[in-house]
Amino acid sequence: MSVPTMTGRSRVLVALATVRDPELDESIVPLGFVASCEVSDDGDATVTLRLPTYFCAPNFAFLMVADAYDAVSALEGLRCVRVELEDHFAAAIINEGVAARAGFAGSFGEEAAGELDELRAGFLRKAVLAGTEQVCRPLLAEGRTPGELADMTLAEIPPSARLDRLRGRRAELGLPAGPSAPLLLDPATGTAVAAEGLPLHLRKARTVRVGIEANTGICRGMLRHRYSTPGQGEAGEAERRDRQ
């Protein structure tokens, strides 16, 4: 029995699923940010993105559009890639800049303080903190002490999707993510967190995690209020459309 191959549209959606909202640390596909995704028979891919509000920060928006363009452009077999943002006050500037590969500063000129590498790194550091709290919470619930956590390496943590996510975010920042790496480290410096500093570190991590989850809930609600249709590839898309 032959295994069906993925369609061009499916391949593009898989590529788009690797693109994250930098602030929410979630994929733009399940968030519902992909308004449309089409691939012609000739291999021309056209993707339209949408955001929860007309005034979403242009630097965040630029990162997502540029990352989406890069992710789709990396696919083999496509003749042309077009990724654009709709219903946003800076859409024209962002779309033109991404298409020209001009970068954020080149697109926004004097309005931009520079490129967005440090902004991206800052959000990744927050993602590492939030991910650390998610991994540590069940360990503390089962009775692990702060001293034990401070001595643990990643190899000693039970396998889970949360651990994989944390290791991935640490690797993106260039932080230790191998089996011998400490569970607890400062995402700004890469140094291990000592037992005496663990309570403060975990309180900060919890605050960051709660903030990210709250913002995610707000953005999901605003997007649903703004658009009546689910995003392309969003969970439950087909079922909801069948009911319409």
pLDDT in tens, 48-91: 999 999 999 999 999 999 999 999 999 999 999 999 999 999 99
Instruction: Give me the pLDDT at residue 36, please.
Output: 97
Give the 3-state secondary structure of residue 172.
Answer: helix
What value does the mean pLDDT of the chain take?
Answer: 93
In 50-177, which ranges are E strands?
80-85
> How many CB atoms are located within 10 Å of the residue 113 CB?
12
Q: Which of 2-11, 53-62, 171-180 is least confident?
A: 2-11
In contact, 85 and 33? CB cutoff 8 Å: no
pLDDT at 243 over 50: no
Query: How many residues does this entry show for the chain?
Result: 244
